[in-house]
């Protein structure tokens, strides 16, 4: 691949971009690998000069989950495109990206005269103290036209994941999740076992066992309040090992949610920096924090849980969710306890610790950085939350992430577009369409089924969708047809046919919601 036409270095986050020699850094390029040697470093910019057609549409990815914001868009030079981009015009489609599990947060900007790769090598909000260490920041790939934009994105994602071990043929991931009708409140072991019975009943004897996940709210302290994760709420979940055993006895596989990097009370192992819960977000470079996380995973395994969903770690590290991260990622000039590694190296090490401690437990990453978590989680929540209260949120988040991140499925991880709700507050005729699409896709299918919303009609559709998903979805695969012009595509190709889904409520999309 052609070398960049220019390289710039930023030592301090507030400093200017200068030539590497002026910054006291050495940048080398070999077979697409970018190596950096420096005493301290914040960012590196690599520029390629290449004219783009004026009619080019540009697509990128997202830092972590997407938020209904993935789309093909006309040239916008300031638009940040995390990890990879594609450019499509009448002349064809091409793009650039970095291999998964890089040691930098990597993003692109694209304009009519070329494109720039930004390697964020900071430690927290300040420079990383490499102290003369040579770091392989990323391996860069170029993608050429593979026939259509959809085929090109598939080929691109495949090329970025070649360094990962081959994924064994994954069993379909299908199950119940109580979040979108319980929302962490007013549920107990009895409700959890009811969910397990419901999903087993609707699986209707399928040989692949579904999961039943106990989501946020099972522990003392309130919703998303943090650990310790050593007990359930007294009088509600007194014996989590017994709960897991009861779920298994019903015929489902038990799963559990937790937030590994937050504690309920201020802690000496907390990290500095901007956060709405000062003194409570743990620093993953401290050995005692990693030991606590390992112990949590071992405890969940000893209780008998076969799936663990770890959540909120991007927010607890950066103090931001994806849309607010932007090009700065975080605010302030804080460092981790260990200032010698880049934030990307630190996040990767954290994910690897969780993967090793989980052993054969199925791991779901939620609010995790997909390009770093690839190969280190079994399932990735690729979009922000759907909703059991507001259909518009499900349309915006769920359909969008499935359409634009589906090529990552079974390459980076099993894609999870989030739960299909079945609740009295949301229109079943629309949720049923989302159920059909997710089931056909072969991606993870989780369902939040409020017992009060069950009818003969819902049960019939739920049973059909669950059994299709447990069988691996539509064998021919699905493809969004109108994704170049629609952020929530209505037309999908399935085999030799086309299916049209109407996602709109009678009054259309809610511009406020």
- Same domain, residue pair 351 and 472: yes
Angle at 225 between CA 318 and CA 237, to 5 degrees: 140
Cα(244)–Cα(196) distance, rounded to whole angstroms? Answer: 10
Phi-psi region of 44 (alpha: psi -120 to 50; beta: other; left: phi over 0): beta
Residues β-bridged to residue 72: none
Point out the domain boundary residue: 160, 188, 215: 160
Residue 502 domain-assigned (yes or no): no
Is 215 found in the same domain as 77? no
Q: 97: which strand partners?
A: 84, 141
* Prior bond of 228 cis (ω within 30°): yes
Q: What is the helix (H) or strand (E) element at residue 120, kind and residue range?
A: strand 114-120
State how far Cα 249 lies from the chain centre.
32
Sign of CA dihedral 275, 280, 285, 291: negative
Q: Which two tokens stand for residue 385?
A: 């939350």
User: Is 170 part of any domain?
Assistant: no
Both tokens of 51, joined, read 């004219």
Whether residues 350 and 215 fall in one domain: yes
Question: Do 249 and 398 share a domain, yes or no?
Answer: yes
Count CA atoms closer than 13 A to 190's CA, side-chain side.
Answer: 4
Give me the torsion for CA of 441, 447, 452, 455, rounded to 10°. Answer: 30
Whether 505 maps to a domain, the answer reads: no
The answer on 223 and 137 residing in a single domain is no
Nearest to 143, CA basis, from 97, 105, 111: 97
pLDDT digits (tens, 9 = 90+) for 230-252: 999 999 999 999 999 999 999 99
Whether 495 is in a domain gets the answer no
List the Cα angle 344/348/351 in 5-degree steps.
140
130 and 227 together in one domain: no
Beta carbons within 8 Å of 91's beta carbon, 6+ residues apart:
53
Cα separation of the two ends of the chain? 45
The 3-state DSSP class for residue 443 equals coil
Q: What is the pLDDT of residue 370?
A: 98
Domain match, 154 and 181 both:
no
Q: For 262-279, what is each residue's pLDDT tens digit?
A: 999 999 999 888 888 899
273 φ/ψ angles, rounded to the nearest 5 degrees: 105, 175
Residue 169 in domain: no
Q: 185 with 141, same domain?
A: no
Residue 218, domain extent: 175-477
Task: Report the C-alpha gap between 85 and 153 in whole angstroms.
Answer: 9
Q: Do 193 and 338 reside in the same domain of the chain?
A: yes
d(CA 431, CA 445): 13
Q: Specify the number of domains making up the chain.
A: 2
With a cut of 50, list the residues of the chain below it in pLDDT.
none
Cα 356 off chain centre by: 19
Q: Which pLDDT score, from 0 to 100, does residue 186 have?
A: 87
How high is the pLDDT of residue 512? 57
Same domain? 287 vs 378: yes
Q: Is 513 part of a structural domain of the chain?
A: no
CATH of the domain at 448: 3.20.20.70
Q: Each residue of 196-231: pLDDT tens digit?
A: 999 999 999 999 999 999 999 999 999 999 999 999
Residues 133 and 259 in one domain: no
Q: Between β-strands 253-258 and 307-310, what pairing exists: parallel, antiparallel or unpaired?
A: parallel
User: Chain-centre distance of CA 276, in angstroms?
Assistant: 22
User: Does a structural domain hold residue 186?
Assistant: yes
In this prediction the pTM is: 0.97
Of 34, 98, 149, the residue nearest 412 (C-alpha): 98
Instruction: Answer yes or no: is 506 within a domain.
Output: no
What does the pLDDT read at residue 277? 87
Residues 152 and 187 grouped into a single domain: no
């Amino acid at each position: 691949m052609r070398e960049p036409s220019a390289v710039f270095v930023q030592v301090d986050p507030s400093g200017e971009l200068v030539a590497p020699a002026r910054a006291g850094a050495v940048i080398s390029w070999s077979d697409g690998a970018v190596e950096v040697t420096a005493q301290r470093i914040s960012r590196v910019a690599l520029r390629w000069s290449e004219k783009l057609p004026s009619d080019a549409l540009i697509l990128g990815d997202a830092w972590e989950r997407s938020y209904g914001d993935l789309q093909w868009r006309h040239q916008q030079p300031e638009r940040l495109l995390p990890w990879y981009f594609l450019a499509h015009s009448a002349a064809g489609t091409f793009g650039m990206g970095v291999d998964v599990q890089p040691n930098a947060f990597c993003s692109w900007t694209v304009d009519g005269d070329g494109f720039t790769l930004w390697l964020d090598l900071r430690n927290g909000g300040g420079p990383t103290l490499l102290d003369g260490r040579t770091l392989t920041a990323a391996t860069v790939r170029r993608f050429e036209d593979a026939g259509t934009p959809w085929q090109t994105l598939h080929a691109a994602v495949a090329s970025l994941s070649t360094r990962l071990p081959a994924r064994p043929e994954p069993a379909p991931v299908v199950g119940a999740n109580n979040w979108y009708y319980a929302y962490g409140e007013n549920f107990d072991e009895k409700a959890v076992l009811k969910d397990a019975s419901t999903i087993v009943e609707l699986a209707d004897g399928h040989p692949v066992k579904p999961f039943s996940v106990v989501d946020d709210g099972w522990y003392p302290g309130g919703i998303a309040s943090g650990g310790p994760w050593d007990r359930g709420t007294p009088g509600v979940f007194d014996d989590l090992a017994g709960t897991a055993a009861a779920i298994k006895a019903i015929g489902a596989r038990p799963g559990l949610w937790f937030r590994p990097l937050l504690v309920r009370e201020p802690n000496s192992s907390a990290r500095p920096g901007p956060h709405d819960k000062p003194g409570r977000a743990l620093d993953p470079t401290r050995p005692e924090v990693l030991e606590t996380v390992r112990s949590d995973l071992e405890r969940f395994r000893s209780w008998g849980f076969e799936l663990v969903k770890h959540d909120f770690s991007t927010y607890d590290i950066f103090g931001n969710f994806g849309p607010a991260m932007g090009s700065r990622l975080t605010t302030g000039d804080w460092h981790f306890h260990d200032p010698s590694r880049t934030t990307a190296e630190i996040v990767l090490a954290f994910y690897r610790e969780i993967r090793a401690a989980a052993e054969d437990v199925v791991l779901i990453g939620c609010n995790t950085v997909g390009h770093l978590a690839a190969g280190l989680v079994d399932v990735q929540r690729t979009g922000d939350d759907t909703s059991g209260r507001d259909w518009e949120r499900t349309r915006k988040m769920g359909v969008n992430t499935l359409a634009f991140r589906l090529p990552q499925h079974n390459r980076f991880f099993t894609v999870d577009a989030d739960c299909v709700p079945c609740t009295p507050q949301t229109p079943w005729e629309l949720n049923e369409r989302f159920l059909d699409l997710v089931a056909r896709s072969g991606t993870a299918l989780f369902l939040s089924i409020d017992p009060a919303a069950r009818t003969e009609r819902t049960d019939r559709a739920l049973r059909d969708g669950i059994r299709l998903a447990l069988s691996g979805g539509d064998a021919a695969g699905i493809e969004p047809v109108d994704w170049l012009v629609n952020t929530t595509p209505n037309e999908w190709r399935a085999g030799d046919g086309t299916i049209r889904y109407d996602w709109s409520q009678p009054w259309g999309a809610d511009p406020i919601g």
